[in-house]
Structures are given as C-alpha cells and as structure tokens.
Structure 1
C-alpha cells in the first residue's frame, strides 16, 4: 500500500491532468503486465509497432519487470491540465541524468528484476546504460514518438474526448460533493481517509511506502484497470516530482481501433437515452455534466451512424434519437 500524507492543504492542491504520452505508457505497461485487459486490436497494433520498428528498449523499460515497476521518467510531470506531445517528448529526452540513474538503478536493484537467479535485467537495457543516461533518455524519447505515431495518433482525438469527458464529469462531482468524497469514487483501490491518500496494491504485493507531499496529480487512463501510483519520492530522491496517480477513466472501454466499436461506450448510451426528445448540445452538456465540445464529438458520430437526426429551428440545432439500425459500413470513422 502507498500512503501519501497530504493533509487538508495538500488535498486542496490536488489537480487533474492528461497527456498523449501518458496513453502510450499506459498501453505499454498494460501490454507487459496484464495484456488480457486489452482488446485484441490494441494488443495486435502495439506488438506489431514494437516489432516492426524495433522499439526493444522502449518495450523493456516501459513494461517493467516481475515486480511491476516501470521507470517514471517516461511519464513526465505535466505543467498544466493537458500537455502536448512535443513538450512531453522534450521532457523525456532532457530528463536529468541523476534522475535516469536513480530510476533505472531502482528498477534493476529493487523494484523490478531483482537480484535472484533468472531475473537479471535484459541485456538490451544494460547495453543502453553503458552508453550513458543521456543516451537512454534520448533513445526512449525517439522510440516513444514512433510508438505513439504508429499506434495511438489515429485514435487520439476520440481518446482525448473520452478523457476530457471523464474529468469534466468528476469536476461536477467535486462541485456537488467535494474533492475528498470524489477521490474515494475514482477507483476501488484508491482511498482518502484522515488526511492521507492511500493506493492499495494487489493482494500479492508486499510493497509499502509512506511519504509526505503538498500536492498530487490525478491522471485518467483508458487502459488502466485500477489506480496506479507513479513518481514515488522518498527522502533524498533527485529532481523530486509531485506524486501522480493514474486511475481508470469512467468510460474505460479499452476499445480496439475499429469502426463499429466507436459506438460502444457509456457516454453514447446516455446520450441516446436523453435524446428520446429533441435537445440541444448545451442542454445535453448540462444534463450529462460534460463539456459542449465532448457532447458535439459524440453526437457527430451518432449522426453519421444514422442513430440520431438533427433539425434546425432558427439559430438552434436540435438532436433526437432515431429508431433505425446504424449504418456501420459508411457512418463511422
């Protein structure tokens, strides 16, 4: 179990963030640690990209070892709510050498591969480390960009809309119930109690850590099945970071990238239920506690699939559900 002692002041500085690079790391980690949670489409594309583009170092470092630890520098700390890809890649490539050394040393000697027979670090990683921490950081950044462009770039707009919708929904819950109650709802293994944020590990894990912090970052993921703690900062850690917790997005379908599957999801089911009578984008946004942009994105897909109709009345556009079958052949992206 991870204990983050925040207190009331630290709880007030908890914030949400998201990044395209986070999605890449989450997919790679899930592929290595729990591939069964991924749909076949994601597994196939990820494996093909790693193999065809020879991204072996990225696969080794991002997947972690038997202990489950994957170095955190692949997930740079976001300065704002939504980081762009180039900024995040630059952060990875320019990670301080002492931070690279600290995290890889922890992976090799403690958290991941351990020191028992049969658990030596992969030779690929050892060879890269021999060339220095700066080389490792720059090489990982290059391979991360190639992986993201090959696997995630075509689907990032819809993925981003899901993540934005998730954060918007939780913002509404915070407004009604407060941040402490909201944190307790984010994931089954995430708990706020008496000034402490707790991330419960798997039953098979004996890892324990308690640290003090004055802030925390919450990051939604479409690939995470439970809350995952990142950026552990015990006393003396170089280039310390704000504790970051990845939690499963409420619309966590982990859909493979296919045309028909874009219709599946909690948000569109709710939209269709609301559209039994004509409604505007603004009305739907208010009723579902989502941003108008997110609502508009989902409505466009439903309209192209032949599930909703839209009519204009003066300056107002109204949407309503149609009782017809979706045109999967030509209606979906």
Structure 2
C-alpha cells in the first residue's frame, strides 16, 4: 500500500533489506498506467504541487467521465491510503497500457480484500476511526471484488484517454530519458551512488534501501526482499514506497519505489527535441522511403540493436509506420507514402 503523512509524530521508516542477492534484482521500469496513479494521488493529496493545467485537466476528466470511484480510491484518502493493485507490478522494462489494465482488472479477490481491509476497518484509511470510508467505496464493494477490480480498470481506461493520452508521448520520452541517464550514472559512479541520488528521502545504506517519509504515521516496515523495482515519475517530488508486503500478505509483490524523474533540463542534452534527438532526426531523414533496420544501420554506421531501439520509440510515438514485406520489416516516416498500415505482429 502507498502511505503518506499528515500531522505530528515520528518518521515513517520503510527499510528494504536486499543484500548482495537482492541487489542483483534491482531494476527500472516504465508503465503508461503509473503516471495516471501518480496524477490522481497528487490531486488528492497535494494538489498545489501540480501545475494549474494538470489540475484542470485531471479534474475535468474525472468530472466529465463521472469517475467518482476512481477519484475516491486512487486519491489517497484522509491518511494517504491508496491500494497498490492500481499500480500492477511491471513484468519488464516497458509495459503496454492494455497489459497493465488487464492486470488491474484481474487482480485476485484475496489481494483486493487484503488491500482494502484497512480502508473498511479504519486501520489504514483513518487510524483514529474518526471518518468512515466513503459510501461510494462501500457500495462498489457490495458487488464483489471481481466487479470492483473491473470497474476500476474501466475508469482508469477512461481517465487515461481523457487526461494523459495527449501528453503520453512526451511523458514517455521524459521517463525513458531519465532511465537512460540513470544507467549512465551507474556506469560512471556505481549503483550505490546512483540510488542515493534518486530522491532526497531515499537512502542506500548497509545493503538496503530506506525510504524516509515525513512524520505523522505509525507505519513502519522492515522487510527482506530479492529485488526492487524503481519507477520514475513526473508527478512526485520525493520517493514513495508501494507494495508493502508484511508476512502473510496474499499474492506478494516485489517492492516498488516511485522516484521523481530528473527535470528535462537536467537530462543529457540531445541538441533537438527530447523525443527526437540528433540520432532519431537522422533516422527520420533516411526514412523518406521504406528501409529495414539493417539498411539504416549500414547508412548511419550504427549497430542494428541501436537502430531497433530508436525505431521502436519513433514508432510508438506515431512518427514512423511499420510494414512487413516478405521476411523484412520496413519503416518509413509518416506522411511520405500512402502506405500507412502497421505491422499487425
């Protein structure tokens, strides 16, 4: 579960003991669904941290699409409760939107019951039990956990299309650039130094990661793990811990830490727009006519793997088309040919 703070008290200290084995399981990931969760949580907990444009767009999407349940569940609640199943564990570095939404919709019932028990009993939603859980949450749960998960997946789909889809290519480019920059930092300075610079409240020490959150909550956690997933975000300014797995948790997950992506002006300069860059601009120039990955690699003196990586980004951004001819996949700049069909594979 994602916990935030309000009020006085001691620091929330969440410790992930990794050791040498667990350190080998630390990885980065980017998912199109994560910014939606971060945006909704920020709107519910720290709306002033969002720009006026993002506040207006998020509020408009929730209102026009009538996404009341999503706003209640993902907004953090009075004491920062936000269930983790809305941020499914990414299976690889990049997860498609459809795959992530399917994970949400098919969340095991026992996992939903486990994550929402605090909300219903007041243990996590409001430790003082001064507030009842929102009626909309209780009414949705009356139809069962499967229906609850499917409804939230549907509302997430509507929210993503209304609020995030127009900006996703730029956000994705920013997040991918951040991970690329972190990889460079690891190569030059080592993993420990890189981890210590991800967020001001995230610390690598004594073979483990510690997330320090502001005072106000009794929650503390110390767990052993075989790895951790690090996810950059453009909607947070500090590290947020997700997937707290104390003993006995059903369908246990890998610990996941959301950290603030570096500002765009702090990322390595590309000389062009952050999505395009000098290398991709050269590729677009070459793609005035259909060419294969190997052809582009030969013409630009790059490795096929490098070319394939950049082509995938350009294709996902909608800047190039992809067609299959015989045994070859050919790429072409959008708008240079009437042949615009995408490879169905």
On whether the aligned pair clears a TM of 0.5, the verdict is yes
2-side partners of 1:210 and 1:240: how far apart? 15
Is it true that 1:189 corresponds to 2:201 in the alignment?
yes
Matching residue within 18, 30, 42 for 2:30 = 18
1-side partners of 2:116 and 2:127: how far apart? 12
Matching residue within 256, 259, 283 for 1:244 = 256
Partner of 1:110 in structure 2? 123
Partner of 1:128 in structure 2? 140
Instruction: List alignment gaps of at least 5 residues for structure 2.
Output: 1-12, 281-305, 315-345
Partner of 1:325 in structure 2? none
1:272 to partner: Cα distance = 5.6
2-side partners of 1:17 and 1:69: how far apart? 23
Is it true that 1:94 corresponds to 2:106 in the alignment?
yes
2-side partners of 1:132 and 1:77: how far apart? 23
Alignment coverage as a number of residue pairs: 273
1:138 to partner: Cα distance = 0.3
1:112 to partner: Cα distance = 1.9
1-side partners of 2:61 and 2:115: how far apart? 25
TM-score if structure 2 supplies the norm length?
0.74
Q: RMSD of aligned C-alpha atoms?
A: 2.5
Q: Secondary structure at the match of 2:94?
A: coil
Partner of 1:228 in structure 2? 240
Q: Secondary structure at the match of 1:197?
A: strand
CA contact (8 A) 1:190 1:200 kept: yes
2-side partners of 1:247 and 1:86: how far apart? 24
1:271 to partner: Cα distance = 4.6
Write out aligned runs for 1:270-289 (5 A).
270-271=269-270, 281=279
CA contact (8 A) 2:181 2:267 kept: no
TM-score if structure 1 supplies the norm length?
0.77
Q: Secondary structure at the match of 2:252?
A: coil
Matching residue within 157, 165, 180 for 2:192 = 180
1:266 to partner: Cα distance = 3.9
Partner of 1:215 in structure 2? 227
CA contact (8 A) 2:271 2:278 kept: no
CA contact (8 A) 1:70 1:107 kept: no
Write out aligned runs for 1:141-156 (5 A).
141-156=153-168
Instruction: List alignment gaps of at least 5 residues for structure 1.
Output: 253-264, 274-278, 283-289, 298-333
**Shift in alpha-carbon separation, 1:179–1:266, aligned structure 2, 3 A:** closer
1:114 to partner: Cα distance = 3.6
Is it true that 1:61 corresponds to 2:73 in the alignment?
yes
CA contact (8 A) 1:201 1:207 kept: no
2-side partners of 1:210 and 1:111: how far apart? 18
1:251 to partner: Cα distance = 2.0
2-side partners of 1:54 and 1:232: how far apart? 30
